[in-house]
Structure 1
Amino acid sequence: MSEFPPNDKQQTLINSTEGLYLVDAGAGTGKTFTVTRRYANIIDQDGVDPEDILLVTFTNNAAAEMRDRIVTQSNYGMRELTDAPIQTFHSLANDLLEEHGHAAPTHLGIDDRITGSTRLIEDALIEKALFREFINQFIDTNPQYDDFFAAMSDASQLLDLIKELASKGIFPDAEGWHRDGESHLDGEFEAFESLFEQVNEPRNDGSKQSALRSKLYRYGQNKVYTPEAPAKEEIRGDGKQVPTGVAARVFEEDRSELKAFIHDVYHAYLSFALRRNYLNFSFLQLFAFVLLCEDHDVREAVNFEYVMIDEFQDSSEIQFKLSLLLAGTSNICVVGDWKQSIYSFQYADVDNIREFEGRLERFAAELNSDHERIEFPLSPVTRRKLDTNYRSTQSVLDFSEHALTTPATGRDSVDVAAIREKVTSLTADASYDNSVIEAIQSEDEQEAILAKIDEIVGNDRYAVEGDDGELRAPKYADITVLTRTRDFGRELLEIANQYDLPMAYEGGIEVFRTNAAKLLLAWLRILERDADRGWALVLEEAGCTIDETQAVLKHETYPEAMVEFREELSELETLGGVARRVFECYGCEGPTADVVLHTIQSVQETTTLTRGDVIQFIEDAIEAGSTHDVNAGAGTDSVTVQTIHATKGLEYPIVILANMNAHKFPSSGGRGGNIMYTDPVGLRQRKHYSEAHGVPYIYDNWKVDVLRRCLPREYDEERRLLYVAITRAENHVIFTAGDSPNTFIEELPVEITDVEPDLSSFDLDLPESTPFEVEITTQAGTPRFSPHTFIDEGVFEDGSGGRGMEFGSKVHEFAEASALGESVTPDGRDETNVQSLLDSLDGDLHAEKQAFLPLDVDGERVTISGVIDLLHVTPERAEIVDYKTDLDRRAESEYQKQLSVYYHVVAELYPDREVTMAIFYTSDGERKPIEPLSKTELRELVRGVRNG
């Protein structure tokens, strides 16, 4: 929009150069245009030079774009602005440390210095490998902390905790904690008590128990507490509310040893990084902050007369404080949109912009507690709004506001009035409004998306604006597919390639979850350790069935070609050589394989990891879903696939918002580490090692279990993520879901249409087969069967009673997580029924238990193995529960065969208890008892399978 003059509100902000400003700049309102013009207006004033103005944004690309725009809008040329402080917080911190901060670590009692050759570690995977080296050394030299490490499944999770504390401005020094850091670790009881009271308020005007008391029904289930833990009845009380004294009881805890442990790990890691001559982004800001706090001469020397911060909703606490330390006057202007704050996983804090005035006062008071560092007045703060949208139609804008008030799950409560009061509605500048907003649902969602793309291209119903301002039929390049998680987009890209539909993935790919990386991991396992897992994957890739693979592994009768390939790999000297040969063998080529190879080589060059360590490195990368930028283009006219996070700040004529499915959006997320930091409860340990009962054991912390149930589940950011996705669209928005649509799509004001994708116009190009051909001969040994082997699949042929494998898997995943005591929220009727069942059970719950039943059939030993969904054990009874999502009961006799296998396994395991079994139909919550077949009848089933 650079050829157009500013609108009135933009011009008012451009002219407002002096004082404190908080600017609410909504999506597509010309924020960058206005900020750069304001900068140009300031810099063209007499007596103001480029070095007097700090302009901060959050990506290097955004900083470069701003610099280019300022050149066109001011009297300064690119050469004069080359060294102007128009940059990110990270590059700003780096510049400060390079010029003034070599001795900054000494302020924290660290002798090591920052040098001119100190490198920045940008790859999270490589840093995790380095941290693993550090933590192994720390464990060896600090036996006093063995109990803490004994309670951790993965000590490398401490790295995330350290980065989180750094983002809050919490740092260790030689004696303790820098400035007021320890008070943050202790938490704030008054703030917690307020949360406790809110969640403990009786519902339905006092007639229904509080949400907290309801949640605590599961207190202690699948947990092992030390003897002093109170009973459930004591914690829940006997009324509608949890006793008020519980708040103080769970908050108060002696955490001195825990704080000492984290202090020593944190401080030691800072020293380790400096000795190894590297810093991460968090440590750049940490040392810059310490430098500005402690060296008053440096702070006064580098102060700026004007400070402007773009995308302020993406700033962390330490970045807010850095801004104050760098400002020499009250000429501060922060620009952002709270509705687009979606980076909390990168430690962005939306309250920086939502509660700007309050934090401004509080942070300044903290910084001035021992020395007057902030000398300018903190008021008045002038608020400005930019509310004319130059991107989307009014229909899209109006629809996007629903995202901010739509429940994320069936139990999510939204204060609609309070949110709407904060929303600045946007007005479209578009001269037309032909928007199509629709939703489709299909069991084959990815194929349905391809069919929809095929329908859209060239279709005037989905017309978009051309370069001449006139509407035209859309091309592939006009379409972007946005997803909440990367895995769906990666799979969609693979399917699109099979159908030869032009599609490109942008914004980072989880390269270690690709087939190339998994094959490399398999062969490294074969070479190093855990060979069975490696062989299993390569045999599966070669086309072996599960039973065939088990036979090969049992008798070690590996295919000759694979054995020869293993020997060839074992003779290679480097991991890079192994990776190249594996990729060459399987035909893995292109940018994704190149990134995997480059990362493996970088890890080996940067660290001292062995081949076994590299295997762990790849496993960690797979688990974490770590991303790398991959240039996987498909030509100029191709559909773009991105995550919603990666598309922030971009715009597309047509947005397809895909994978709108339960447990995918909102993301079900993962469980955090054993030691966590959470406002306002501070630093806590979820599990701890003890010999409380006379036996060494990892006990659950009952106080933390209660504390976590008092903290609100954060769905607001998921709503903001939905809002960002919708507002990327200029013209049209299409939502897609599979057979388990999420609450968002069900609650938004859009009709969902069931579709059967028709891809008959495409030529399907299936992937080539593996280079290894495997011939499996019958091996001697114990034959294995699955209970599903005996089920007559014909009963499901018309498909009217089922709802698809994906839906069934989702319900089972929820049931398992809930039974294991994880904090999950039911989504939809089926999961609610499962939750009610689990809440009603008062015995021990065992989820997803392996069951092996040996049988002698005609003189031969066979084994039937399967997985029990739920085993409920009381002192008198052991009950087998199998979840079924069927809408009818026609398959009950077939399921009886499956449950009968489990019955005989459990009967042998609990000979002194009554064993029962039941099907739990999740659609209506019926628990149907089933009578078991005898072992004789099971033997007949085996004979029937054998005889064909």
Structure 2
Amino acid sequence: MTAEPAIDGLDPEQAQAVLAPHGPVCILAGAGTGKTRTITHRIARLVHTGAVKPQQVLAVTFTARAAGEMRTRLMGLGTKGVQARTFHSAALRQLRYFWPSHFGGQLPELISSKFRLVGRAAARCKLSTDTAMVRDLAGEVEWSRSCLIDPSDYPAAVARSGRETPVAPETVVKVLETYEKLKQSAEVIDFEDMIMSMAFMIESVPQIAHQVRETYRSFVIDEYQDVNPLQQRLLDAWLGARDTVCVVGDANQTIYTFTGARPDYLLGFANRFPDASVVRLHRDYRSTPQVVTLANRVLDGSSGGLAGARMSLVGQQPTGPEPTITTYDDEPAEAAAVAAKCASLISSGTPAAQIAVLFRINAQSEIYEAALSSAGVPYILRGGEKFFERAEVREAVVFLRAAARTSDSTGRLGRAVRGVLANSGWDPEAAPSGGSARERWESLSALAGLADDLQSADPDIDLAAFVVELEQRAASQHAPTVQGVTLASLHAAKGLEWDAVFLVGLNDGMVPLNRARTNEQVEEERRLLYVGVTRARRILNLSWSLARSPGGRASRKQSRFLDALASSRGPTAKVAPSARRQKIARCKGCGQRLDPREVAAGSCGACLKVGDRTFERLRAWRMTVARSEEIAPYMVFDDETLGAISLMKPTTLSRLLKVKGVGEVKLGKYGSDLLEEIEASKKNLQKTQ
């Protein structure tokens, strides 16, 4: 690959990074500025010009998904053999290779979670072993070890950082010491041991250092702002006295300092390597100018150590709708409105997988799961069941592996995969209407879509190579895209993007969290909101609620970060009027204030049910439907919606659509059956009168 093909289609800053000499390079890449495209083109150019062999390049990312994307893009650039791994997987691979010859025997068992051992350590220290306490203590164990803090230095380190600990720092020290003893007695290691052991072996054994450095002669470190001291120590060991490293990061997306991440490695790179090429990517190709403008304004009020590292993005996409800021009465009203908007987007052609609902903490997901289910909207909860552990996916991989051993594996990959899946009962043209059957169908569709993506990158890929790719992805949990609205925390959304994003629950005390007390902690919360905003390509809705529950005291305030956005001049955000200013609807029966979901019916849930035989008939119908679709009854319709229907007794589909909780998706699935049930109920009532 000559210089011109290497930079074909790149902007001037991207081209500058690609053409920089083989040596220290620092790419300061803002959100959506094409950093993955840039670094893969740089790697491909180094390989094709003979500066380095592909097997001598180690590209390190922070997620298995990012590593898989990098491998796919390099494949599309005609570059195979580059190692793209996370810090953990790279260290584990090397440690497994060197451990037997250096220490003798096999590598000790690697525990995937500290939870059990930390729980035992807490019990021995006479502390609570409930989930929250053990989780918080495990976080302290990880933070102290990732920051290379000796237990004896832990209290002083906590004082310096202003860190809030679950128990007194001196008590945490006892947990740290007990945890280490329990690991030794059980003869197991954790992820921090793995990285530390590999770094120590390179530092202390010349033969290992020589072999590692001969194997890897060029390094690329993505998301460098998230590197912690332990990971930096391993990188230093890999490099030795060399400087052939390219780092990529964005200090404005530093959101993991609570786990030990330090952006100063990124910001201080040029000081460490005075001859380094430093390139700033500021052209945002992901989001509309409206979203980009709002993202820049989120950071306008930044202060503290990272303020000087701020990069103002310039949107490159066509113009789009203005982001909105909406106030709701309460959380259920907010969730119901967001679910309705998701359903509307899907009905107008936006794929469900291109919509996300993002919140600050995982506990906020439950109300949105219920609201989306009630609206008939499929969703995927990040952090839920892992894709490659699903029964239908495991079964499909078995079928694909068997087919790869036969002559059936010849031909184009997409066609071959679809043929195998069809033989197992999957029909691409007959998607089930919902429930677990729909989830299984979506999983197999995702496998077929992955085959198409890989075939586009490498037209010669066959079924056997596809199976190998699936096995590698299963090992690293790099799942393909599954159709469904994504529910995720802001931290889990890092590195992802969607056409439409709903940032919800933006109350002060949640964003920023109450426990963010120091200026540095508050600024990290600001950067977290910035990460959420920059996930949106085109549609961005921000929202918050005045109360937690219907009828509750309207004592909440919007996030302080939204204050500046709502008051800024220019059409960057629309503030919807508070629902509290609207006329309060009351039940026709008992006069009490109505839940927003009951307004259409004009009566509260209790009054709807009293003496209404239609309601009981509809509940029986709902149970039959739920059993046939293998879903929970509330996913068909909840009681409030059935009660509203039974009170209004609509006779046409258009009138049925006016009932809150029905929506166009459920109208199409259940509308005709509902009208038949209502008519049958009327006739039955007439007979009994």
1:731 counterpart letter in structure 2: R
Structure 1 residue 134, shift from structure 2 partner: 5.8
Are 1:505 and 2:370 matched, yes or no?
Answer: no
Structure 1 residue 346, shift from structure 2 partner: 3.7
Structure 1 counterpart of 2:196:
286
2:378 counterpart letter in structure 1: M
Calculate the TM-score normalised by the size of structure 1. 0.45
Distance 1:64 1:41 in 2: 19
Structure 1 residue 184, shift from structure 2 partner: 7.6
Structure 1 residue 660, shift from structure 2 partner: 0.9
Distance 1:159 1:477 in 2: 33
1:43 counterpart letter in structure 2: V
Structure 1 counterpart of 2:144:
165
1:128 counterpart letter in structure 2: F
Of the three residues 119, 140, 153, the one matched with 1:132 is 119
Distance 2:14 2:478 in 1: 37
Structure 1 counterpart of 2:221:
309
Structure 1 residue 591, shift from structure 2 partner: 12
Distance 1:713 1:476 in 2: 36
Kindly indicate whether the alpha-carbon contact (under 8 Å) linking 2:139 and 2:259 is maintained by their aligned counterparts in 1: no
Are 1:425 and 2:309 matched, yes or no?
Answer: no
Structure 1 residue 712, shift from structure 2 partner: 5.0
Structure 2 counterpart of 1:849:
none
Please give the per-residue CA displacement for 1:32-86, whole angstroms capped at 9, x wherever unaligned. 1111111111122336322322211111221122112112213x44xxx1xx432
Structure 1 residue 630, shift from structure 2 partner: 14
Structure 2 counterpart of 1:876:
none
1:729 counterpart letter in structure 2: A
Of the three residues 303, 324, 336, the one matched with 1:415 is 303
Distance 1:51 1:477 in 2: 35
Structure 2 counterpart of 1:489:
365
Kindly indicate whether the alpha-carbon contact (under 8 Å) linking 1:505 and 1:632 is maintained by their aligned counterparts in 2: no
Distance of aligned partners of 1:759 and 1:10 in 2 relative to their CA distance in 1, 3 Å threshold: farther
Higher helix proportion: 2
Distance 2:531 2:373 in 1: 28
Gap regions ≥5 residues in structure 1: 107-112, 140-148, 173-181, 196-222, 226-254, 361-377, 407-413, 464-471, 512-587, 593-628, 671-708, 770-948
Are 1:734 and 2:545 matched, yes or no?
Answer: no
Kindly indicate whether the alpha-carbon contact (under 8 Å) linking 1:487 and 1:510 is maintained by their aligned counterparts in 2: no
Kindly indicate whether the alpha-carbon contact (under 8 Å) linking 1:479 and 1:640 is maintained by their aligned counterparts in 2: yes
Distance 2:181 2:350 in 1: 57
Please give the per-residue CA displacement for 1:85-136, whole angstroms capped at 9, x wherever unaligned. 32111011111211113487x8xxxxxx7725x44332x3xx3223434666
Kindly indicate whether the alpha-carbon contact (under 8 Å) linking 2:27 and 2:248 is maintained by their aligned counterparts in 1: yes
SS at match of 2:492: helix
Please give the per-residue CA displacement for 1:813-868, whole angstroms capped at 9, x wherever unaligned. xxxxxxxxxxxxxxxxxxxxxxxxxxxxxxxxxxxxxxxxxxxxxxxxxxxxxxxx
1:282 counterpart letter in structure 2: E
SS at match of 2:252: helix
SS at match of 2:27: strand
Kindly indicate whether the alpha-carbon contact (under 8 Å) linking 1:21 and 1:332 is maintained by their aligned counterparts in 2: yes
Structure 2 counterpart of 1:404:
299
Distance 1:165 1:420 in 2: 27
SS at match of 1:385: strand
Distance 2:172 2:331 in 1: 48
Distance of aligned partners of 1:656 and 1:132 in 2 relative to their CA distance in 1, 3 Å threshold: closer
Map 1:529-608 to 2 at 5 A. none
Kindly indicate whether the alpha-carbon contact (under 8 Å) linking 2:88 and 2:191 is maintained by their aligned counterparts in 1: yes
Report the RMSD for the aligned CA atoms in angstroms: 4.4
1:717 counterpart letter in structure 2: E
Distance 1:758 1:261 in 2: 52
Distance 1:331 1:41 in 2: 15
2:312 counterpart letter in structure 1: S
Kindly indicate whether the alpha-carbon contact (under 8 Å) linking 1:508 and 1:630 is maintained by their aligned counterparts in 2: no
Please give the per-residue CA displacement for 1:531-559, whole angstroms capped at 9, x wherever unaligned. xxxxxxxxxxxxxxxxxxxxxxxxxxxxx
Distance 1:669 1:718 in 2: 11
Are 1:744 and 2:584 matched, yes or no?
Answer: no
Structure 1 counterpart of 2:337:
451
Distance 2:598 2:538 in 1: 25
Gap regions ≥5 residues in structure 2: 1-5, 387-434, 440-476, 547-555, 567-572, 583-595, 606-614, 625-689
SS at match of 1:732: strand
1:88 counterpart letter in structure 2: T
SS at match of 2:329: coil
Of the three residues 110, 134, 138, the one matched with 1:120 is 110
Distance of aligned partners of 1:184 and 1:664 in 2 relative to their CA distance in 1, 3 Å threshold: closer
Structure 1 counterpart of 2:278:
383
Please give the per-residue CA displacement for 1:433-473, whole angstroms capped at 9, x wherever unaligned. 122211111123343443355357668xx99xxxxxxxx86
Of the three residues 306, 309, 324, the one matched with 2:236 is 324
Map 1:19-38 to 2 at 5 A. 19-38=23-42
Structure 2 counterpart of 1:721:
528
Distance 1:425 1:135 in 2: 46
Structure 2 counterpart of 1:875:
none
Please give the per-residue CA displacement for 1:701-753, whole angstroms capped at 9, x wherever unaligned. xxxxxxxx9x6561111111100111111112111111023322333234242
Distance 1:264 1:114 in 2: 26
SS at match of 2:255: coil
Please give the per-residue CA displacement for 1:410-430, whole angstroms capped at 9, x wherever unaligned. xxxx538x7654321122221
Distance of aligned partners of 1:317 and 1:114 in 2 relative to their CA distance in 1, 3 Å threshold: farther
Kindly indicate whether the alpha-carbon contact (under 8 Å) linking 2:327 and 2:578 is maintained by their aligned counterparts in 1: yes
Map 1:521-920 to 2 at 5 A. 636=483, 638-668=484-514, 714-739=521-546, 740=556, 741-749=558-566, 750=573, 751-755=575-579
SS at match of 2:262: coil
Structure 1 residue 151, shift from structure 2 partner: 7.6
Kindly indicate whether the alpha-carbon contact (under 8 Å) linking 1:405 and 1:419 is maintained by their aligned counterparts in 2: no
Distance 1:438 1:188 in 2: 40
Are 1:6 and 2:10 matched, yes or no?
Answer: yes
Structure 2 counterpart of 1:349:
262
Distance 2:577 2:35 in 1: 37
Count of aligned residue pairs for this structure pair? 478
Structure 1 residue 291, shift from structure 2 partner: 1.6
Structure 1 residue 318, shift from structure 2 partner: 1.1
Distance 1:19 1:742 in 2: 44
SS at match of 1:55: strand
Distance of aligned partners of 1:379 and 1:101 in 2 relative to their CA distance in 1, 3 Å threshold: farther
Distance of aligned partners of 1:91 and 1:188 in 2 relative to their CA distance in 1, 3 Å threshold: closer
Structure 1 residue 8, shift from structure 2 partner: 1.5
Distance 2:478 2:334 in 1: 26
Structure 1 residue 268, shift from structure 2 partner: 1.7
Please give the per-residue CA displacement for 1:131-186, whole angstroms capped at 9, x wherever unaligned. 434666xx4xxxxxxxxx368888956544332222113468xxxxxxxxx67875
Structure number with greater Rg is 1
Structure 1 residue 397, shift from structure 2 partner: 0.8
1:493 counterpart letter in structure 2: E
Structure 1 residue 385, shift from structure 2 partner: 0.8
Please give the per-residue CA displacement for 1:499-537, whole angstroms capped at 9, x wherever unaligned. 43x1303311499xxxxxxxxxxxxxxxxxxxxxxxxxx
Distance 1:129 1:591 in 2: 35
Structure 2 counterpart of 1:574:
none
Distance 1:161 1:385 in 2: 35
Kindly indicate whether the alpha-carbon contact (under 8 Å) linking 1:15 and 1:38 is maintained by their aligned counterparts in 2: yes
Distance 2:623 2:521 in 1: 44
Q: Which shows bigger deviation, 307-316 or 150-159?
A: 150-159
Kindly indicate whether the alpha-carbon contact (under 8 Å) linking 2:252 and 2:306 is maintained by their aligned counterparts in 1: no
